[in-house]
Amino acid sequence: MEEQQAYLDIKRARRNLVLGLIAAIAAIDGAVFFTAGSEIEAIVSDISRVGTVCAAAALSLVVVRRQKVGGLFGRAYAALAAGLMLWVVAESIWAYYELGLGIGAHTTSIADVFWISGYGPFAYHLLSTARFFGKGLKRSAIAIVGVAAALFLAFYIQTLVGVFELEGPGALATLAISIVYPVLDALLIVPAVLIVMNAGKGQLTSIPWIFIGWILLVLADSMLGVAAASDMSEVFHITMAYNAAYLCFAAGLLWYNRQFIISDKKLVNW
């Protein structure tokens, strides 16, 4: 009876988290969508991105404070927190560039240094947790996802070069930065996709939120790279993708904090 009640409580909590995540994405991205093309588009977009990544970073710090940094998951989530903090700095700098300095959306900046630096700790988190959650994965699945990622990367770079329209002294730097991101994304999308494919084996998690967040981030980066290379003016849909990704990170961290740290659940059940 107690085990059945515990299962029902977990199921109810998971349902509430899904509904809360959907509501948060709808509310925040709805504001971005309905202000697109208006005078306050940049304000809403930048504030929403900074706010969502700050929410994820704050929850990651809560996890680190309660879990500490020992063991596989302690180190992995400390790395995740480090990466998110670097991206908080990056998003904040970029918001200042756009809102404070009035610099266009396709200019390389010091923010790129922090965004790219975040990939190091993110890679540690993804690869170390993938070793745990990826148990049972077939080599054929790993090979298929790896080849698919490589083919997508090759196609994407070819497309990026094909639509490149910028000119001037910063053009090549913009193109180089636009290529760096998908290369790094391709390295991390493989474990993310594999874990999503391997999800659903435990009672505590039906959807690996953080890994889904990474898939959305790769999608957003891909769109942003093309937008930057082609000098596209409408980028509100890219902001919406980033917001959804950051909120998925926040949902995963909230679930991890409640079900594994506060409730002292065993990780093997995830």
User: What pLDDT, on a 0 to 100 scale, did the predictor assign at position 223?
Assistant: 81
What integer is the mean pLDDT of 114-141?
84
User: What pLDDT, on a 0 to 100 scale, did the predictor assign at position 263?
Assistant: 55
**SS3 state of residue 104:** coil
The answer to whether residues 199 and 228 touch, using CB atoms and an 8 Å cutoff, is no
Tokens describing residue 113: 């240094």
How would DSSP label each residue in 65-107?
HHH-S-HHHHHHHHHHHHHHHHHHHHHHHHHIIIIIS---TT-
For 57-66, 84-93, 157-166, 249-258, which range has the lowest pLDDT when averaged over its residues? 157-166
Tokens describing residue 166: 């910028």
The answer to whether residues 250 and 36 touch, using CB atoms and an 8 Å cutoff, is no
Tokens describing residue 116: 């790219």
User: What pLDDT, on a 0 to 100 scale, did the predictor assign at position 47?
Assistant: 95
**SS3 state of residue 134:** coil
Confidence of residue 268 (pLDDT cuts 50, 70, 90): very low
Q: Global pTM?
A: 0.86
| Choice between 222 and 78, residue whose per-residue pLDDT is larger | 78
For residue 210, which amino acid is it?
Answer: I
Q: For residue 252, is pLDDT > 80?
A: yes
User: What pLDDT, on a 0 to 100 scale, did the predictor assign at position 269?
Assistant: 41
| Choice between 253 and 72, residue whose per-residue pLDDT is larger | 253
Q: For residue 112, is pLDDT > 80?
A: yes
User: What pLDDT, on a 0 to 100 scale, did the predictor assign at position 265?
Assistant: 47
Confidence of residue 78 (pLDDT cuts 50, 70, 90): very high
For helices 236-256 and 209-230, the axis angle rounded to 10 degrees is 160
Using CA atoms, how far apart are residues 178 and 166, in angstroms rounded to an integer? 12
What integer is the mean pLDDT of 224-236?
70
Range of 26-40, 119-133, 142-156 with top mean pLDDT: 26-40
Altogether, the residues listed in the chain come to a count of 270
The per-residue pLDDT for range 15-63, each reduced to its tens digit, is 888 999 999 999 999 999 999 888 898 899 999 999 999 999 999 999 9
User: What pLDDT, on a 0 to 100 scale, did the predictor assign at position 1?
Assistant: 63
Confidence of residue 251 (pLDDT cuts 50, 70, 90): very high
What integer is the mean pLDDT of 147-176?
76
For 66-75, 195-204, 259-268, which range has the lowest pLDDT when averaged over its residues? 259-268
